Structure 1
Amino acid sequence: MRVVMIGSGYVGLVSGACLADFGHRVICVDKSPDKIDALERGEVPIFEPGLEQIIAQNTTAGRLGFSLDLPRAVADADVVFIAVGTPSRRGDGHADLSYVYAAAREIAAAVTGFTVVVTKSTVPVGTGDEIERIFRDEFPEKDIVVVSNPEFLREGAAITDFKRPDRIVIGTDDERAIDIMREVYRPLYLNEAPLYFCERRTSELIKYAANAFLAMKITFINEIADLCEQLGADVQKVAKGIGMDKRIGDKFLHAGPGYGGSCFPKDTLALVKTAQDHNSPLRLIETTVAINDNRKRAMGRKVIAACGGAVRGKKVALLGLTFKPNTDDMRDAPSITIVQALLDAGADVHVFDPEGMEAAKSVLGPVTYGDSPYAIVDGAEAVVVVTEWEEFRALDFRELKARMAKPVIVDLRNIYKPEEMVKYGFSHFPIGKRITKA
């Protein structure tokens, strides 16, 4: 099939590359000349395990291309996906749909013949209706069907998620569009990928409801972690105990410094705003958003407390900056708030992240960047684990301790066992567990 992906950011690039890997002919369109030039040179602008190889293989095979020319790309397309950004709108928290509507108008002006236009961007309920109205009012002669097909990609595991999905949600009741969408995802049939067809508005809400529920689950276990610290319980064991219940499940029950990234913060806020506008407030999600914001600030205070209550003039080393491992995404990462709290308190902050330091430079204040975990800990009064990268799990603790001014580890991801830290002479400050001091 002739597929066009409008937007070559995270969702568009991963989706376009995977569809090309299925055998479709795919063109990824973007307005950034620098991005398109880089992609044509084989340079992938985001870090996602496996993506660079898939892009290289499919560009070489001639199935995947990149373009700045939207009208030419979509003119003969069978299906056009809109995968542009929908950031939180400045001032009110609603999703900014200006890029979606602009793309829709450009697509409608250029397509010829019957075309399916698919919103893969995360959009509020009713966005498909508005796109359809734009097409009907401004381009009445065009034969276009608008479909909702939200993405459910986890950064760091996006290739696997696309090729082995839990479900593929498709919102349309148009039989021609249903046939097209079945053909788009036909290569997944051998994996028994569950295609779930529903109304377009239902499809749009499924995406928001899923992200809000997962964000709420994370926030729940974070609050239980706080209670564990007060009661002398172990949050990891609590999470395991409740996660064994199949009605609850063990996913997203890892206590930490709060959720971040490109989806949960903006999607929970957008859902809250949509619900308020329709006089159906979502109190649980409103509280989830507030708790998560407060938690990030509380993590800064936790680090300061571990350093004896003051960090002015002290060196503090942070391991990990991205909101999760296996990505270079710094959007709404807890590290941003933690670093700012430490800087405000007068700390000398040194940081290291395997992939996120370039992105971090545009959002962090005056910190010092190091090229390894060991390079940033010389003379440090505390090491703070902010992101659970695999390489942080097997550090040489003897060398770490020898380099530090004080052997203090603030383990915001619970990747170390307290008994191991005591053995190496560290004071260990975990999340939702007893503090163990050397």
Structure 2
Amino acid sequence: MTSFSTNILYFYRSIRSKIAFYPTLFALSGVLFAFLMMYLEQIGVSKYLVKHAPLLVVNSGDTALTILSACITGLISMMVFSFSMVMVLLNQAASDYSPRLLPGLISDYRHQIILGIYISSILYCIFILFSIQPTGDKYQVPGFAVLLGILLTVVSIYAFIYFIHNISETIQITNILEKIFLEARERIQVILKQEESMQWSFPDTNNWFEYSTDKSGYFQDLSRKNLLSFCKENDTLLEILPVKGTFVLKGIPVFRSKERLSDKAVQNLLSNFHLSRKELVSTNYLLAFKQINEVIIKAMSPGINDPGTALNSIDYLSELLRLRMLKADESFISDSEQNFIKLRIATFKELLYQINAPLRRYCSADIVVVQKLGQMFLSLKVQKVANPYYHDILKEEAKRLLIDARAAMSNEADLETLSFLAEKLAIKI
């Protein structure tokens, strides 16, 4: 895969998440289908159907004009209402849960397809309406094309019914959390599969040559195949410095090379780094932890005050942490023989601290949520891990949580619950 094809792939991933992606494709298909039907009408498809299936053809020009005009008006009304519902959905999700959830909701292909059906039907009916031309005191009616316009309107009505059903489910926080969890789980499982054949040796990189990026953005992804080919062609090894998902400023070193590289080689290598202004769970599983964590924090805020949502979110967070504990704190890109590229990733200690720190700040006064988090630590403590010291990290973060919770509570029953949790976790507070 060349750098050009890699950029095309990144561009496709970017526009596919736009709310106008599928509607644009459907709109073009509606226009093309209208011209196709005009061509078929010119070669006599309606005349053939009048002889063999007259019920499928609209013969009256006035009736055809009235039907198509009503279809266009109704479809535009449904489309406006549907777009309004999408905006309400996005506004509610941003205010009640987290603004980070918006890219995932906007990229929901079902909403885009339904809007695309509306637009393609409207454009089809408009072009067919224009094709009805007066000939003397009569109209030249594309009868079969008008019938298809009616059928497309019926399809749009059923799509509208499905849209109402789907959007009522999409706004539910459990469905939002499940979608985030499934995308992150799929990404982590891909990484775990790559680690099965991974080598675990790499030379020290402190004295290697550092090279910087010429633009800013979120470091989302890179082309593994291209980087591997680059290392072999230039007889060098690389270390990628930023962690996926972090914001990289222009001029900040982004990789180290064992061998000195020419300016052309550096530019060629940098073209395989994908820097973006937005974040997607499908390319960076760490974003899922951030999103779920923010949902918990927002739910525990005084303005929302929804501990039930926080408890549900902790369940999804627990499962993602269990999967992350199966992954090592190092990652490499290699062929069947050796490692050529070392990737810097967020270690389990860094990740758990970033998750637990805001939870300690916003949830330590609620004994129910603290108890749920304590159960999460208890469950993770007995799980299989890639490195034994993960258990020590869990114990340390659990201790910090219980200490902050004890400082925030004064009720004796709550303090007894904390003592019981500390005893089960083998922690002194």
TM-score, normalised via structure 1 length: 0.23
TM-score, normalised via structure 2 length: 0.24
* Bigger fraction of residues in helix: 2
* Bigger fraction of residues in strand: 1
Higher RCO (C-alpha 8 Å, min separation 6)? 2
